Amino acid sequence: MHYRRPGLDRLSHALLALCCLLFLLPVWLAFTASTHTLDALYSQTASLWFGEAGWGNYRHLLSGSFGGLGTDVLTLLINSTIMALGIAIGKIAISVLAAYAIVFFRFPFRRLCFWLIFITLMLPVEVRILPTFEVVADLGLLDSYAGLILPLIASATATFLMRQFFLTVPPELVEAARIDGAGPWRFLRDILLPLSKTNLAALFVIMFLYGWNQYLWPLLITNDADYLTIVVSLKRLLTSADGLVPWQNVTATAILAMLPPVAVILLMQRYFVKGLVDSEK
């Protein structure tokens, strides 16, 4: 019959496998390059296999400060982790509370609050960097974790998603909880949050990636190397005094910078896909 065509299926498999490999290629090359010495790298075009430096570059990067960074890569990784976790957890916490208020309560100016929050969906931080920078400077938050985190949780994506989910909770459930004498906090803690577990996990993945991968904002407000994040450090590593890019360090740092977010997305793929596709509705 016309519907299934084994030939086409085999062609699809072949093309898919090829594309998977092609997508992996840039990472593979960076990974092999990170195990070469600088001299070995500059004596040939990029090698497809590992070099003799082994884990030496990584050990060197993680333990001592180098290359005009003024800090070691371990500190950068810790800063990135604090920033990503702070953004993910902070954003989820304030959005769950706000969405809970908007869906389950009636209060004056409710619509106004709704719009004040949702208008932020339209303008990402990149559009208003300068004034935001000045506000953060006025508050004395430059070179601090609070300065890295707070301005980035001022957006409504998570609130919007939580609101969508709360709207699907059957009213009978709330009614039953109330008849049983549960107050608003009890209802939130014992019924609503356990129900939202999957959505919270999905949000966590998306927000963790968002926080980890931030570039412009941390670039602006960190001068002090102690608050630098690993993603931002890459550009400083690329510039070198003698004109030779220290590619063995740059590729090793790039690999370290992508490991945590890639691990999160692979381990929590189910939630991530659900969260992403649900956000469309």
110-169 positions binding another protein, by CB under 8 A: 110, 113, 116-117, 120, 122-124, 126-136, 139, 150-151, 153-156, 159, 167
Beta carbon of residue 160, minimum distance to another protein (angstroms, whole number): 12
Residue 82 as a binder of another protein (CB under 8 A): the answer is no
- Applying CB under 8 A, among 232, 246, 252, 271 the residue interacting with another protein is 232
191-220: contacts with another protein (CB under 8 A): 209, 212-213, 215-216, 219-220
Q: Give the interface size with another protein as a residue count (CB under 8 A).
A: 104
Q: For residues 241 and 266, which CB has a smaller minimum distance to another protein in the complex?
A: 266
Q: Report the C-alpha gap between 72 and 77 in whole angstroms.
A: 9
Q: For residues 75 and 233, which CB has a smaller minimum distance to another protein in the complex?
A: 233
Residue 179 as a binder of another protein (CB under 8 A): the answer is no
Nearest Cα to 219, choosing from 134, 148, 149?
148
Residue 76 as a binder of another protein (CB under 8 A): the answer is no
- Applying CB under 8 A, among 78, 93, 137, 193 the residue interacting with another protein is 93
Beta carbon of residue 45, minimum distance to another protein (angstroms, whole number): 4
Residue 171 as a binder of another protein (CB under 8 A): the answer is yes
- Exposure string for 135-152, b = 16+ CB within 10 A, e = fewer: ebeeeebbebeebbbbbb
Q: For residues 99 and 225, which CB has a smaller minimum distance to another protein in the complex?
A: 99
User: 């296999």: which residue's tokens?
Assistant: 49
Beta carbon of residue 167, minimum distance to another protein (angstroms, whole number): 8
15-44: contacts with another protein (CB under 8 A): 15-16, 19-20, 23-27, 29-30, 33, 41-42, 44
30: tokens are: 């960076």
**CA dihedral over 259, 264, 270, 271, signed as positive or negative:** negative
